[in-house]
Amino acid sequence: MKYLEELAVIGNEPLCPGYFKMRLRSHKISSSLRPGQFVHLRVTDTADPLLRRPFSFADAGDGWFEIIYKVVGKGTRLMSNMRPGALISGLGPLGNGFFLTSLPDHALIVGGGSGVASLLMLAQKLVELGVRTTFLIGARSADGLLCLEKIRSFGCEVMTTTDDGSFGFKGTVPKLMSKVINDGKLNKVKTTIYACGPIPMLIEVVKLRKGLPTFVSLESVMGCGMGACLGCVVPVRDGGYRRVCTEGPIFSADKIDWGKMRG
């Protein structure tokens, strides 16, 4: 069920350079969302910016939910200056989300940059369901690693990597994932990979996964969020296209035509 709801800002604070966490008061949306879904926000009544923007749910509770966003344009700059009591129009929950009907023995969660936010509720839920969960977090440098302590509080094993080697493993998060897989500790364990991040990162994850079942959360600019405008379609292996906003954002990696994806 989708709802159009007026949301009130409860809190809005910086997490690390360029990133903010916003908590919004909500009753209808917060009570019906699941991990992997998103909300479509319009931050102003004016024509600039005109379109709503998608934000993954990072956390939720009784009467509220949180998003984590990176300041990249006019809309997110406006958001970063919002104070408690400010109002935002929200449409959601949208997208398919993660359906955890068949659970692995081990979940290997791979998050890069702002993609980490899309995987937080999934990690928490998997741990609650008794799944051994390893969360790999990647960023360009140490000050871009998101939500380390929060993820540790779930009970996950956490491994970090930075491109410049300033914290944890030196290299990209797909390379850290490959190292974990090639160490041999997963050979006798039913493992599923869940990943979110930039398209080039996801392409590497798919190349290096050694045949492990993999689900990806795709990030896309979208106009309507309802499947009508076709602005967020991605190519699939059967020769057609799928809409990220309605048939995603969660896809089996096997269904995507990665050779046609653009980073």
What pLDDT, in 10s, does the model give residues 211-254? 999 999 998 888 888 888 888 999 999 989 999 999 999 999 99
Do 116 and 166 belong to one domain? Answer: yes
In the chain, the number of structural domains is 2
pLDDT reported for residue 173? 97
Give the Å distances, CA to CA, from 14 to 19, 134, 171, 176: 6, 26, 26, 27
Q: What is the mean pLDDT of residues 156-179?
A: 96
pLDDT of residue 109: 98
Domain that holds residue 44: 3-94
DSSP assignment of 33-85 equals --TT-EEEEE--SSSTT-S-EEEE--EEETTEEEEEEE--SHHHHHHHT--TT
pLDDT mean across residues, the chain: 94
Do 159 and 190 lie in a common domain? yes
> 123 and 47 share a domain?
no
Q: Are residues 36 and 88 in the same domain?
A: yes
Residue 101 falls inside a structural domain: no
Contact present, 217 and 250 (Cβ < 8 Å): yes
Confidence tier at 70 by pLDDT (50, 70, 90): very high
Tokens of 240: 């057609």
Whether residue 183 is found in the same domain as residue 256: yes
Per-residue pLDDT reduced to its tens digit, 119-134: 999 999 999 999 999 9
For residue 263, what pLDDT is reported?
61
In a shared domain, residues 150 and 232: yes
Q: Is 207 a domain residue?
A: yes
- The answer to whether residues 123 and 85 belong to one domain is no
Decide if pLDDT at 184 tops 80: no
Whether residue 205 is found in the same domain as residue 245: yes
Please check whether residues 90 and 210 belong to one and the same domain: no
What's the pLDDT tens digit per position in 85-106?
999 999 999 999 999 989 999 9
- Tell which of 94, 122, 142 closes a domain: 94
Question: How many CA atoms are closer than 13 Å to the CA of 32, on its beta-carbon side?
Answer: 15
Backbone dihedral region of 29: left (phi > 0), alpha (psi from -120 to 50 degrees) or beta?
Answer: alpha
178: phi then psi, degrees, rounded to nearest 5: -60, -40
